[in-house]
Amino acid sequence: MEHFLTVGRIPFLVCAPFFHRFLDNPLPKIRFLDGVPSEQNKRLRDGTVMLSPSSSVEYAKNWENYVICDKFCTSSTLEIQSVRLFSKYKWENLDKKSVHLTEESDTSAALLKLLSSLRFKVSPIWKTEPFTEACDARLLIGNNALREGSENKWEFAYDLATVWQDWQDLPFVFGLWIMRKEALGGSSRHLLKSYLSETELSIKDFRENRQKCLQKWEKHYPCGLPQNLAYDYYNVVDYSFTPKHEKALIKFYSLCGMPAKLKYAG
């Protein structure tokens, strides 16, 4: 039986550098499953995918089953733009106010709750049922956050990465490349090594030919944003994984009460 490596692919602009290279040139023995971060978390958990860019909180919750690829991650240089709290009130005035949580990202929701509790000392009423205009604030991620931000409908908008960095003087790691331990064994290891090398080239290509690569991505995953906004978005996204990113992860896990140990693929 022919062996395949199944990879979770997130169809957000932030992940275009990881995957654009393979849209028109599929890799042999690599299969992709599309889905938002929370879907990829579940697939990693049950073994439907062997690796995926996924929520950093997912690693902390199930770290015994995973290892981290330390070649790249999803963080920001100052602001991330695609993870935002939109509000009718200042954050410090959201105590007992209703705040709608997106179900697309576990990490963003955890960060919002952490910042509310420890940074702003408020206890909002968290809502997960379908959003209504009656909500006082809402958390959005990915393309939805970028679109909402461009429309200027809310009195206040907070970039969660910026708030975290102002508070902790560290970058925030929203997404890790998480892989199941099984991916390191047998024939999977060779496929994994080859795929990660190709992904590094994909990121390099995107940095050097952003407009061309983004146009290709948009053909497959149209986001409905003005071209200049989509193009400039990548000026603030950071894909490197450094000792400072590791320190930020450890700090975040500690503040969340998650005693995860960081283990790398090697």
Q: Which residues contact 136 (CB under 8 A, 6 or more apart)?
A: 87, 88, 89, 94, 97, 98, 99, 124
**Beta-sheet pairing, 98-100 with 66-76:** unpaired
Residue 82 has which token pair?
A: 């695609």
Q: Which of 85-94, 106-115, 188-197 has the lowest mean pLDDT?
A: 188-197
Is the pLDDT assigned to residue 1 strictly greater than 60? no
| Cα distance between residue 255 and residue 248, in whole Å | 11
How large is the angle between the packed helices 106-114 and 243-255, nearest 10 degrees? 70
Band of pLDDT at residue 86, cut at 50, 70 and 90: very high
Is residue 125 helix, strand or coil? Answer: strand
Calculated CA dihedral for residues 185, 34, 132, 92, nearest 10 degrees:
50
Helix, strand, coil shares of the chain, percent, nearest 5, are 45, 20, 35
Q: Does residue 205 or residue 149 have the better pLDDT?
A: 205
Positive or negative: CA dihedral 35, 249, 172, 189: negative
pLDDT, tens digit, 9 for 90 and up, residues 160-175: 999 999 999 999 999 9
Band of pLDDT at residue 209, cut at 50, 70 and 90: very high
Model pTM score: 0.89
What is the per-residue pLDDT for 253? 96
Is residue 124 helix, strand or coil? Answer: coil
Is the pLDDT assigned to residue 2 strictly greater than 70? no
Is residue 229 helix, strand or coil? Answer: helix
What is the per-residue pLDDT for 266? 66
**Are 171 and 75 a contacting pair, CB within 8 Å?**
yes
224: left (phi over 0), alpha (psi -120 to 50) or beta: left
Q: Does residue 214 or residue 132 have the better pLDDT?
A: 214
| Cα distance between residue 233 and residue 40, in whole Å | 23
| Cα distance between residue 256 and residue 36, in whole Å | 23
Domains of the chain: 5-76+172-255 (3.40.190.10), 83-168 (3.40.190.10)
Q: How many residues does the chain have?
A: 266
